[in-house]
């Protein structure tokens, strides 16, 4: 007869002994674990043709190995001897008991959750969705009343099922990008140190190292050094030890699981986070508070960023003037134009919006680190479900406010392929940081000051609404299918540390500056060349006024010829050939649109009094055209990097190119319709 060995675990006083007695009856044996004085109790029973050996492990609140009982329990459930883990949970103290459950969950072994004392919990007004609990834990959940023997047959059924169903395990709690990045590094190092067949446990051992749950030298000098550095870095960044930070994330997992699987007919929770959540997660107030908070963020972005931006803008104008005045008279030529128009005009036009980037990401870092952004995802869950997605899809969308590339990579948290593909397809509609310089250029140029925050907020809301509509269409057509249930984590609120907020803000701002100094600098030089060559023979501009000559020269260049060719189409959206050349550059990176507008509007300024780019745009275009530029840049095809990551994550050129072409066509149709209707109305 085949044998199944079960490790019976649980907190002290969860009724584990009663369950053990009901399972084994008189068939018990008492001894000691080898080398220690901890009592070892085991028994057995037969069920569905299996001899089931049940080892009653010491009651423990965790498997962190701080005491001998915890070490014995941990070693047994980690060993190959244990086929199935049965975690007995006191249903009346569900959240408290789940801390041990989260640790067992991460062991990636067959798991059965026995919700014990279920009769008392029901009387106390608690109702559990056992199917969802089992799904979230990648195992099975059953209800038991150990002292009455109720639910024991179902428990044994679940043990046999979990033993035979051969699940794929990759159970993990998301500890946030800072911890996950260090965990990944440690996991790779540990994988090389453990014996063959134990590689799957490498992440668990990495968790142990970061939590200081084992000898730091256990997995070699390299791993010890990396772990020590990671612990120190996280300590400096958050002002707390990693084990506290990770415990908070586990409680976030627990909170999410509780909110989604337990229905309370009697109010019993009264801690501070719950009290705040009563307002912020209120079914009526929650969403208006979220949108109001985002509006405030954008308002502050302009209010605080504008004065600094003006200083930087004036600085670049002074620099251009200095270069022009210092240039030897009569020696003006391509090199001067490259420095003034290509480099200062192009890169300077992008760098000038750094203050807006800094203040926006500072505000988002505060919201993220305080735990509010997880609530935003929870609030959006109801809306996301209506369009066929899960609230978890909102997490990559939130990342997408920074950059679409990591957002697409972030969709790996979605297990269901159709939901993941849908999320990937709609993510470019979320306004990324690269679009922010475009909004920051256009909005102050064409709209009154009191509307700056509102216009910025509108662009983000339009993107979200379009993403919702597109998701609904995709789920009804290309990606039909039922949604699987997924866990929403709700970490407790915490006051963000200055170091962590500034670290996150600086990381994103530095990436922006780095991009301006590398990719955008290179593209600016290429675009300067495309907008400067080939040169129009001087005799062809003879007799023209300066502005006419400048337009004729630009149209004669490589970029001008391309833009002139597509002008009949772009005109429908209200764009001229200058905007057309800038949009061509934006295919490489969105910020290049601003750089290119800076270049084409700087050409020919040498020696003349230079005006800020926003003033030049205001003289040439209307507010309707300004709005259409933002609309087209919001909806149109993502940058080259997004196409590449889409191809990598979907493993399909068809999806990548479908997204590229589809969004460009959609942007054209909507922008042209808005412009034409705007013309009719005005």
- Known binding residues for Mg(2+) are 21-22, 24-25
End-to-end, the C-alpha distance of the chain in Å comes to 85
Q: Is the dihedral of CA 521, 527, 533, 536 positive or negative?
A: negative
> Binding site residues, as ranges?
10-17, 21-22, 24-25, 35-39, 56-59, 116-119
Using the Cα atoms of residue 347, residue 349, residue 350 and residue 355 in order, give the sign of their dihedral. Answer: positive
**441 Cβ partners below 8 Å, 6+ apart?**
349, 353, 594, 597, 613, 614, 617
Q: Is the dihedral of CA 542, 548, 554, 557 positive or negative?
A: negative
How many C-beta atoms lie closer than 10 Å to residue 41's C-beta?
Answer: 17
514 phi and psi angles, rounded to 5 deg? -60, -40
In this structure, are residues 426 and 418 in contact, taking their beta carbons and an 8 Å threshold? no
Backbone φ, ψ for residue 87 (5° rounding): -100, 110
| Whole-number Å distance between alpha carbons of 405 and 326 | 42
Tell me how far apart the alpha carbons of residues 204 and 187 are, in angstroms, rounded to a whole number: 8
The closest of 615, 161, 178, 637 to 425, measured between CA atoms, is 637
Tokens of residue 7, six digits: 């490790």
E strand or H helix that includes residue 46: strand 39-47
The pair phi, psi for residue 47, each rounded to 5°, is -155, 125
Q: Is the Cβ–Cβ distance between 319 and 348 less than 8 Å? A: yes
CA atoms within 13 A on the CB side of 270: 3
Residues contributing to the annotated binding site for GTP: 10-17, 35-39, 56-59, 116-119
Q: Which of 6, 38, 3 is closest to 20 using CA atoms?
A: 6
Closest CA to 516 of 312, 347, 346: 347
């Amino acid at each position: 007869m085949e044998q199944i060995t079960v490790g019976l675990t649980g907190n002290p006083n969860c009724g584990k002994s009663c369950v053990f007695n009901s399972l084994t009856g008189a068939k018990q044996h008492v001894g000691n674990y080898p080398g220690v004085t901890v009592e070892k109790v085991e028994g057995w029973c037969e069920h569905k043709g299996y001899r089931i050996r049940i080892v009653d492990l010491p009651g423990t609140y965790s498997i962190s190995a701080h005491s001998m009982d915890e070490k014995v329990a941990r070693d047994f459930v980690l060993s190959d001897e244990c086929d199935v883990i049965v975690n007995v949970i006191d249903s009346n103290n569900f959240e408290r008991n789940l801390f041990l459950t989260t640790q067992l969950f991460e062991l990636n072994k067959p798991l059965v959750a026995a919700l014990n004392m279920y009769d008392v919990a029901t009387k106390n007004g608690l109702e559990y969705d056992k199917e969802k609990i089992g799904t979230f834990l990648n195992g099975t959940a059953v209800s038991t009343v150990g002292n009455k023997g109720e639910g024991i047959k179902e428990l044994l059924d679940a043990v046999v099922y979990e033993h035979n169903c051969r699940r794929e395990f990759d159970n993990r709690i998301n500890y946030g990008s800072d911890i996950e990045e260090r965990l990944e590094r440690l996991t790779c190092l540990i994988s090389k140190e453990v014996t063959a067949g134990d590689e799957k446990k490498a992440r668990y051992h990495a968790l142990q190292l970061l939590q200081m749950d084992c000898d730091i030298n256990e997995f070699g000098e390299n791993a010890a050094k990396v772990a020590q550095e990671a612990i120190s870095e996280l300590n400096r960044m958050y002002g707390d030890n990693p084990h506290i930070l990770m415990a908070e994330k586990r409680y976030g997992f627990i909170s999410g699981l509780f909110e989604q699987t337990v229905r309370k007919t009697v109010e019993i929770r009264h801690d501070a986070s719950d009290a705040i959540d009563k307002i912020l997660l209120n079914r009526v107030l929650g969403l208006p508070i979220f949108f109001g908070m985002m509006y405030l963020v954008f308002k502050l972005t302009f209010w605080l960023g504008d004065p600094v931006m003006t200083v930087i803008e004036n600085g670049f104008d002074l620099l251009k003037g200095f270069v022009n005045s210092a240039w030897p008279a009569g020696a003006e030529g391509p090199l001067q134009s490259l420095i003034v128009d290509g480099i200062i005009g192009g890169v300077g036009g992008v760098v000038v919006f750094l203050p807006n980037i800094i203040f926006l990401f500072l505000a988002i870092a505060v919201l993220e680190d305080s735990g509010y952004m997880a609530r935003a995802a929870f609030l959006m869950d109801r809306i996301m479900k209506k369009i066929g997605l899960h609230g978890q899809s909102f997490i990559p969308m939130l990342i997408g406010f920074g950059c679409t590339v990591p957002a697409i990579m972030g969709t790996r948290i979605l297990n269901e392929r159709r939901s993941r593909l849908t999320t990937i397809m709609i993510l470019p509609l979320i306004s990324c940081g690269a679009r922010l310089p475009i909004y920051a250029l256009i909005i102050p140029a064409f709209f009154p000051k009191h509307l700056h925050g509102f216009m910025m907020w509108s662009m983000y809301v339009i993107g979200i609404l379009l993403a919702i509509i597109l998701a609904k269409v995709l789920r009804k057509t290309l990606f039909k299918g039922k949604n699987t249930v997924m866990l929403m984590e709700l970490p407790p609120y915490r006051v963000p540390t200055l170091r962590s907020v500034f670290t996150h803000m600086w990381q994103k701002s530095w990436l922006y500056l780095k991009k301006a100094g590398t990719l955008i600098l290179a593209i600016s030089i290429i675009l300067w060349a495309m907008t400067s060559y080939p040169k129009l023979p001087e005799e062809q501009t003879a007799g023209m006024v300066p502005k006419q000559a400048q337009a004729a020269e630009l149209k004669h260049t490589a970029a001008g010829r391309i833009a002139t060719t597509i002008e009949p189409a772009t005109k429908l959206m209200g764009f001229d050939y200058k905007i057309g050349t800038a949009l061509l550059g934006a295919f490489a990176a969105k910020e290049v649109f601003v750089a290119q507008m800076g270049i084409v509007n700087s050409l020919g300024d040498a020696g003349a009094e230079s005006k800020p780019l926003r003033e030049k745009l205001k003289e040439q275009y209307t507010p309707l055209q300004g709005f259409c530029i933002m609309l087209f840049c919001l909806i149109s095809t993502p940058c080259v990097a997004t196409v590449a990551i889409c191809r990598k994550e979907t493993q399909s050129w068809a999806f990548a190119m479908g997204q590229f072409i589809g969004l460009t066509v959609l942007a054209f149709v909507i922008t042209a319709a808005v412009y034409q209707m705007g013309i009719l109305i005005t």
